Amino acid sequence: MKYKLSVYCLCALACSSLITSSFAQSKFEGFYGQMGLVYESIRPNLNYSGITISGVGTLPISYSIGNSNSWNGVATIGYLGSISEHFMLGIGAEYEPFMSKSASFIAPTLNSLNGSWYKQSSYNIFISPATPIGTDGLLYGKIGYAGQTLKDSGSGAPNTFNLVGYSLGLGYRQILSGGLYAYGEINYANLSASAVPFSGIYAAGGRAWSYTNTVSTNTSNAVLGIGYKF
């Protein structure tokens, strides 16, 4: 009887050891910070209401606008925790502080208005579901609330457009040594701004004019960088 009890105890200890080891802390669990090099493409769209001229009526506004493709940098902080053996969940925030390359636009209807625009900065607050790959890898997704600040120089003093919307991303991390890791991501954001009103008086004839402009962008990027899990 004592022999059987000893065997049962040994089996219980072995099972307990296996369970404990299977749920050992992931190398990616905890707080982290990372920096990356970004190649980004911003594709804007302008939605004009049409220009209303007193005594004349409303005329459609035609325009053309270029895309901005440029390099940037991004800094990210976050936390990642284990939910189960194969599932982790995190939260993070990232910020791109540098201006994008400027691109041109023209609106012939508005007295042949010519100008340029650029992204001043952007941010993203996200949740991140993830799954470990082996012992040193991590595959993760990102679902976030993102924002951009765009400026244009088409009418003298720059106009500022604050865009917000959703973001999606997919990435992979690989441990290099200790808490140091390399990572790569692809990201997409769909953003828009509230309508901005414009108005004035034509010098010739003194007729009042007005219109509104709504700006939206589709932004995609690829990121390569390094990070550290504390």
- Own/partner pairs, 82-88, CB within 8 angstroms, 24+ separation: 82/23, 82/25, 82/26, 82/29, 84/23, 85/22, 85/23, 86/131, 86/132, 87/129, 87/130, 87/131, 88/26, 88/28, 88/29, 88/129, 88/130, 88/131, 88/132, 88/138, 88/140
Find the domain containing 219 and state its range: 25-229
- 11 within a domain of the structure (yes/no): no
- 52 within a domain of the structure (yes/no): yes
Q: pTM to 2 decimals?
A: 0.81
What pLDDT tens digit does each residue of the chain (230 aa) get?
Answer: 444 434 344 344 444 443 344 456 789 999 999 999 999 999 998 887 777 888 777 877 777 889 999 999 999 999 999 999 899 999 999 999 999 999 988 876 666 567 888 999 999 999 999 999 999 999 999 999 999 999 887 655 568 889 999 999 999 999 999 999 999 999 999 999 877 777 777 656 677 877 787 889 999 999 999 999 99
83-124 pLDDT, tens digit per residue, is 998 999 999 999 999 999 999 888 766 665 678 889 999 999
- 51 within a domain of the structure (yes/no): yes
Q: Which residue has the tokens 């749920």?
A: 23
- 8 within a domain of the structure (yes/no): no
The predicted pLDDT at position 63 comes to: 77
Residue 195 belongs to domain with CATH number: 2.40.160.20
- 60 within a domain of the structure (yes/no): yes
Number of domains the chain is built from: 1
- 136 within a domain of the structure (yes/no): yes
The predicted pLDDT at position 208 comes to: 83
The predicted pLDDT at position 10 comes to: 39
